[in-house]
Structure 1
Amino acid sequence: MKHLLPRFATSPVGPASSLPRDTRDTLFLLAVIAWVAMMQIGQIPWWCTALTAGVLAWRTTLALRGLPLPGWAWRMGLLALTVLATWWTHRTLLGRDAGVTLIVVLLALKTLELRARRDAFVVFFLAFFTLLTHFFYSQSLLTAAGILIALLGLLTALVNAHMPVGRPSLAQAARIAAGMAAMGAPIMLVLFLLFPRLSPLWGMPGEDETGRSGLSGSMRVGQVAELVLDEGIALRIRFDDAPPPQGQLYFRGPVLSDFDGIEWRSLRSGFPTSMALPTDLNVSGPPVRYEVTMEPNRRPWLFVLEAATQVPEVPGTRARMNSDLQWITLRPMDALVRYRAESYVNFRHGPLAPVVGLQDHIELPGGYNPRTLALALALRREHGSGPQSNAALIDAVMERLRTGGYTYTLDPGVYGQHTADEFWFDKREGFCEHIASSFVILMRAMDIPARIVTGYQGGELNGVDGYWTVRQRDAHAWAEVWLQGRGWVRVDPTSAVSPGRIGSFERLRAPEGAVAGAFRNLSPTLTAQLRAVWEAVNNRWNQWVLNYTQGQQLDLLKKLGFSSPSWTDLAYVLIGVVVGVSLLGAAWTLWERQQHDPWLRLLQRSRKRLRQLGLDSGDHLPPRELAAQVQRHFGPNEFSNRLAQWLLRLEAQRYSRHSTLTLAALRREFQQLTWPRKPLH
């Protein structure tokens, strides 16, 4: 790989076509490495990005100016700096994040000692390995497209490195690389379809189990509002039949009942079973059947439409419903998962009569929200203090929200210690969790059991593929109050402040940038159509590629004729395909050998016979020079004269315009030659 070595002579920098080949090839390799590293910018620390960019820029300058590479002291110093910075950032040199940080910088540093063939192959190996690390963080269609571009670039550089003679164009190397990738595509497809699925394929032991984005197991006022800035997709829903009305699309998540004055949490772990409230779920009406594709959230939660009575069909794990009507899995959902569910929008749950566990849903911490407590006393005096007046109290509070000048907004400002007091009396504006939290606090202050339910509400229909898309900005918080004889009843106080948020899916949006806003204002319809098409394509990638599960592999075997397929059958099919492809490859090789130029094959036969007689002429001599060697080696005799004349006629048959000889005639003449039985001296 001489052309990859730096030449220490200097030359003026000009167009790429005028650069020396070693400089051109080095710059191309550096560009590919920069693309590989750039794809990790969102995952690596800022200093790692800056150091990698600086090293690659330095190496580019050295290549353009023909300067020598830095000595070992520079390289060791940068390596020590990298190790120390990695330790300072991650507090370890092991694990996924620390490992990716190190591998990206080491890839850049290795370009500073690109002196020999071995160094070049190490760079190629590190670059291919770095490509794989992208799948630790994302397996989206955009990531796959970026990796495909990087893969073709690396293959082009690798092919170019094995073309040391002359100045082959990068386009020629790219065509060869694309051909190699195309030949490997069928093998990749077979392995994808039949190789046993390992889930999660790109997981790492000991990964942090906190959520990437989305809902969590606790809620502070203002937390859910942050999710409106996230346009990422949380769920995709495909209904078997007509979907429920928009106002009934509530996808249930964590239920928060424990409040310390600042933060809402689920009831404390270790809660005695005897104190847990009974579920007592009763449903009515026709079921809604649908399929959910849930993005990874690293939480052991399944989001289903309220309320599901049957266990959702989740591949690879089991799910159970807790007493709060939330579905929990045995392991966090750290990969894209698709499951089927069946729900009833008409349902009732919870105890119908007072039980011991309900007192946990009226507790409030002391020292918080004194004006809200006073409002609760005033409402009780106005509407009565018995359980029979609880429904009237709820209606009174909802009417206050509708007529009291309250506003649904994304930016209500910072709330202080007494969040409910500020909402009810001062700010009178907030996002859904401000409204739900203040509502539940007021309910509890009136001795009405209440709690917060978080999840997603709403979504939008993609007209391209027919899926309902639920985004992170559709995260929502609503309330449940307990009424005697009715159990837990959903009350969404946000619907009283902003009916459009629930009914017609009017969403508060984060401020757009100048370019995005101008484009949306210029052609809002085109923007919506392009977005729908892209999300439909991305959804197909999720459905066909990322969510190709073990069950789908067995379904494929059923389509191939297996009545009750198993992993043994899958192994047999895979082995059969491998053997079949190997036999086809062998047959193709034999066929290709037969398709070689028959003229060259006849010339090669003559050379083989001459080697047996002691004349090894190699494979580079043309027939005319080979005839002269025959005359010199064997001397003048009948055999050498006939063979020499035959070789000259063979050359004339190929290159002379006036030759009337056919290759078949020359082949017969060759067979009629009287060859000596032993070498002639």
Structure 2
Amino acid sequence: MSPAFDHGHSQLNSLLPRESLLWIFAVQLAVLLPHFSHLPLWLLGAWTAAVYWRLEVFRGRREIPGRLVKMLAVSLAIVGLALTYRRWFALEPMVALLAVSFTLKNIELVSRRDALLSLMLAYFLAATLFVFEQTIPFALYGMLCVVLITAALAAQQGRGSARPGRALGLSLKLLAQAVPVMLILFVVMPRLGPLWAVPQNSAKASTGISDSMSPGDFSELSKSDKPALRIAFDGPLPPPEQRYWRGLVYTHFDGRRWSEPDSGQGYGSWRRGRSGRPQDYGDAPESEHTLPAVGPRYRYQVIQEASHTPWLFALARPHSETKGVRATADDTLLYRLPVSTRLAYDVRSWPRESLARSEPLSSAELRRHLQLPSSGNPQARSWARARLDEGMSAEQISAALLDLYHRSFTYTLRPPPLGGDSVDEFLFATREGFCEHFASSYVFTMRAAGVPARVVAGYQGGEWVEQQEYLLVRQYDAHAWAEIWLPGRGWVRVDPTAAVAPERIRDGLRSAAAEEFMQDALLPLHKIAFVTRLRLQWDMVNYRWYQTVVSFDRERQQGLLTRLLGEVSPMRLALLLGIPVVLALLALLLWLHLSSRGPALPAASRLYLRFCQRMARAGVARNPGEAPGDFARRIEREVPRLGPMARQITLAYERAAYGDSAAAERQLRRLLRGFWPMRRARPAVAQTV
């Protein structure tokens, strides 16, 4: 083994200095910090204990842990992970396992080899940030982490490299050189399946619309202005009264809460098992998939925010060819996994009036959509029987109930609490409610009259963003409405809220509940026009970021390469990669050539050097070390005709170079502009001949 190798090996395994340790710990804290929002808090305590122990070792107060202590620490970490997570094949426990390995490495952080291994793990852990979030702030924070990790690597080189300015400067230079390569690889590298397709921990709380509904649920959502959906249309935009983004269908009522526990359509089975597999929910029957290839329809792309639930949102009669998205028999869409991050999916929807269903409901469907508790809410049942005794049809009963809402009810975000017979209390006592009160009481009463009915939950409306041409749907746009079954027409949407507050459907919640809207907000920012415009601008930036960067999938990559190359072939891809590499090498060679010429001369010196070059071409070269004044006097002796001009140029140069005179520099430039000694010297040479 060579002495050089022995020297490098011993240097690699030398003890770490204090500056190197501090760099490593700072990087670890920066990388772990955003993970503590979803990782267990005991992991933070474990990292703090490991860092404290290692600092005590550096101070000489403790020793490096032995094998027994290391085995005990690993065992405790594994037990902690097992108690924290029920499922191992999910993102969060896998990231937690990586973070535990990252943390426990501190107790044996001795040599530069250990430091390099720890920092390599830091790169991987920083990359896992994008498994959970792909927003612009997280992207910027991830870039900051990469800069810090690279600086920490530079700080391990010794000889003053741990100084913050030097380490950060070298890191920025290295990463700046890597940016062109990163951009090229982003465009041409094959797009692999994202890591975030792995299921996340299902115990995490969901946001937005739940898989059940009781009085007060949707009024709570009205307090949030967080984005829920962004929808871009390829073609016409549906009118406001058609913008019903359905997500769930509730058919089971226990007297207070609507849910879907036993239908097998996906919501109940997912809620019970949390498996998220496609076989857990039923597909729509073949007759539901028989959709016309032409005719009235809407084509659009939905970008849905993370909800940690599998249901998606779309207009009625949706069909999607996005991988992992399936339609259900209840006319909704489900994803194969809980939506743990932003998800983009394409949808086509047909207006229901163009697709009337003629076949009757099956006996199982009829029972499911007429289900009511055996007792409770007697007044609502009596009202429904009275309408039947009057010989009213389903449409007439519906019209009578909607007329009752229109004449006697109030739409409010602060409905009074309801007791056990919630439908009776709402219909015949309080008569103040939000959308879930109207939808729940309507479906209950229609079922009591023998009309199949169901509650539909989703979002209604949205704000049209003209600059980017997409519809922004927020959490406060959450809405519940009803559907009834009519022979020959199939399921027909009925929105009882529209009978009380039609402006809610036409103009949105802010217009319908202007005085009550976002009253509980700590800071009423929605009332400040400037802040509202700023937040909308920020949402447009996020939308463009997702469209351009995050959702740059295989299809978008092929489209971009086709526009750039015309035809995607190995030869053209090689040219696309080779041309930037050649240009980069040429730029590097030019930079090396220019840098080898030394520092740039002042303007006066460059002008005087030009004078000397012209005199050399005329046959009078300046000798090395010859002063400007001596050179001017020699020109006067050898070429008398050039003497006066040479004397003027020399005097102007001396005033500009040594007197720092801008006027002299301008004079020097002007004199040189008309000084061409070859043209003046030739006549004298001819006379001599």
TM normalised by structure 1 equals 0.71
Q: Which amino acid aligns with 1:35?
A: A
Question: After the TM superposition, which residues 279-358 of structure 1 pair with which residues of structure 2 at under 5 Å, given as runs?
Answer: 287-297=297-307, 301-307=311-317, 311-312=319-320, 314=322, 316=323, 319=326, 321-327=327-333, 336-343=342-349, 347=353, 349-351=355-357, 355-357=361-363
The separation in 2 between residues aligned to 1:92 and 1:210, in whole angstroms, is 12
What is residue 255 of structure 1 aligned with on the other side?
Answer: 249
Q: Which amino acid aligns with 2:304?
A: M
Task: Indicate yes or no: 2:182 matched with 1:188.
Answer: yes
Question: After the TM superposition, which residues 112-151 of structure 1 pair with which residues of structure 2 at under 5 Å, given as runs?
Answer: 112-151=107-146
- Would the alpha carbon gap of residues 459 and 59 (structure 1) be closer, same or farther in structure 2, given more than 3 Å must change? farther
The separation in 1 between residues aligned to 2:34 and 2:103, in whole angstroms, is 14
Task: Indicate yes or no: 2:459 matched with 1:465.
Answer: no
Q: Which amino acid aligns with 1:461?
A: W
The separation in 1 between residues aligned to 2:117 and 2:453, in whole angstroms, is 63
Contact 2:415 2:433 in 1 (8 A): yes
- Would the alpha carbon gap of residues 228 and 72 (structure 1) be closer, same or farther in structure 2, given more than 3 Å must change? farther
- Would the alpha carbon gap of residues 551 and 393 (structure 1) be closer, same or farther in structure 2, given more than 3 Å must change? same
- Would the alpha carbon gap of residues 318 and 520 (structure 1) be closer, same or farther in structure 2, given more than 3 Å must change? closer
Q: State the shift of 1:513 in Å.
A: 6.0
- Would the alpha carbon gap of residues 533 and 110 (structure 1) be closer, same or farther in structure 2, given more than 3 Å must change? same
Q: State the shift of 1:297 in Å.
A: 4.9
What is residue 536 of structure 1 aligned with on the other side?
Answer: 540
Task: Indicate yes or no: 2:370 matched with 1:363.
Answer: yes
- Would the alpha carbon gap of residues 284 and 381 (structure 1) be closer, same or farther in structure 2, given more than 3 Å must change? farther
Question: After the TM superposition, which residues 314-463 of structure 1 pair with which residues of structure 2 at under 5 Å, given as runs?
Answer: 314=322, 316=323, 319=326, 321-327=327-333, 336-343=342-349, 347=353, 349-351=355-357, 355-357=361-363, 359-360=366-367, 362-371=369-378, 374-382=379-387, 384-386=389-391, 388-409=392-413, 413=417, 418-425=421-428, 428-463=431-466
Identify the range of structure 1 (142-151 vs 580-589) with the bigger mean alpha-carbon deviation.
580-589
The separation in 2 between residues aligned to 1:207 and 1:256, in whole angstroms, is 25
The separation in 2 between residues aligned to 1:39 and 1:246, in whole angstroms, is 40
- Would the alpha carbon gap of residues 281 and 545 (structure 1) be closer, same or farther in structure 2, given more than 3 Å must change? closer
Q: State the shift of 1:589 in Å.
A: 6.6
Task: Indicate yes or no: 2:81 matched with 1:86.
Answer: yes
Task: Indicate yes or no: 2:530 matched with 1:526.
Answer: yes
The separation in 1 between residues aligned to 2:45 and 2:127, in whole angstroms, is 22
Aligned pairs, number: 571
Q: State the shift of 1:443 in Å.
A: 0.8
Q: Which amino acid aligns with 1:72?
A: P
Contact 1:289 1:343 in 2 (8 A): yes
The separation in 2 between residues aligned to 1:274 and 1:47, in whole angstroms, is 45
- Would the alpha carbon gap of residues 82 and 418 (structure 1) be closer, same or farther in structure 2, given more than 3 Å must change? farther
Contact 1:6 1:23 in 2 (8 A): no
- What do you get for the CA RMSD once the two structures are aligned? 4.4
Contact 2:54 2:106 in 1 (8 A): no
Contact 2:477 2:509 in 1 (8 A): no
Identify the range of structure 1 (285-294 vs 30-39) with the bigger mean alpha-carbon deviation.
285-294
The separation in 2 between residues aligned to 1:265 and 1:347, in whole angstroms, is 26
Q: State the shift of 1:273 in Å.
A: 11
Task: Indicate yes or no: 2:210 matched with 1:203.
Answer: no
The separation in 1 between residues aligned to 2:233 and 2:283, in whole angstroms, is 36
Task: Indicate yes or no: 2:159 matched with 1:177.
Answer: no
What is residue 159 of structure 1 aligned with on the other side?
Answer: 154
What is residue 608 of structure 1 aligned with on the other side?
Answer: none
Identity score, percent:
29
- Would the alpha carbon gap of residues 530 and 67 (structure 1) be closer, same or farther in structure 2, given more than 3 Å must change? farther
What is residue 552 of structure 1 aligned with on the other side?
Answer: 556
What is residue 72 of structure 1 aligned with on the other side?
Answer: 65
The separation in 2 between residues aligned to 1:657 and 1:91, in whole angstroms, is 87
The separation in 1 between residues aligned to 2:282 and 2:181, in whole angstroms, is 56
Q: Secondary structure at the match of 2:35?
A: coil
The separation in 1 between residues aligned to 2:18 and 2:194, in whole angstroms, is 43
Contact 1:436 1:452 in 2 (8 A): yes
| Unaligned segments of structure 2, at least 5 residues | 1-9, 266-280, 511-515, 599-622, 629-689
Contact 1:390 1:448 in 2 (8 A): yes
Contact 1:420 1:437 in 2 (8 A): yes
Task: Indicate yes or no: 2:509 matched with 1:506.
Answer: yes
Q: Which amino acid aligns with 1:293?
A: I
Q: State the shift of 1:440 in Å.
A: 0.6
Question: When you count helix as a share of all residues, which structure comes out higher?
Answer: 2
Q: Secondary structure at the match of 2:196?
A: coil
Q: State the shift of 1:44 in Å.
A: 0.6
Contact 1:354 1:484 in 2 (8 A): yes
Identify the range of structure 1 (469-478 vs 288-297) with the bigger mean alpha-carbon deviation.
288-297
- Would the alpha carbon gap of residues 277 and 221 (structure 1) be closer, same or farther in structure 2, given more than 3 Å must change? farther
Q: State the shift of 1:305 in Å.
A: 2.7
The separation in 1 between residues aligned to 2:188 and 2:141, in whole angstroms, is 25
- Would the alpha carbon gap of residues 366 and 340 (structure 1) be closer, same or farther in structure 2, given more than 3 Å must change? closer
| Unaligned segments of structure 1, at least 5 residues | 8-21, 600-652, 660-681
- Would the alpha carbon gap of residues 472 and 576 (structure 1) be closer, same or farther in structure 2, given more than 3 Å must change? same
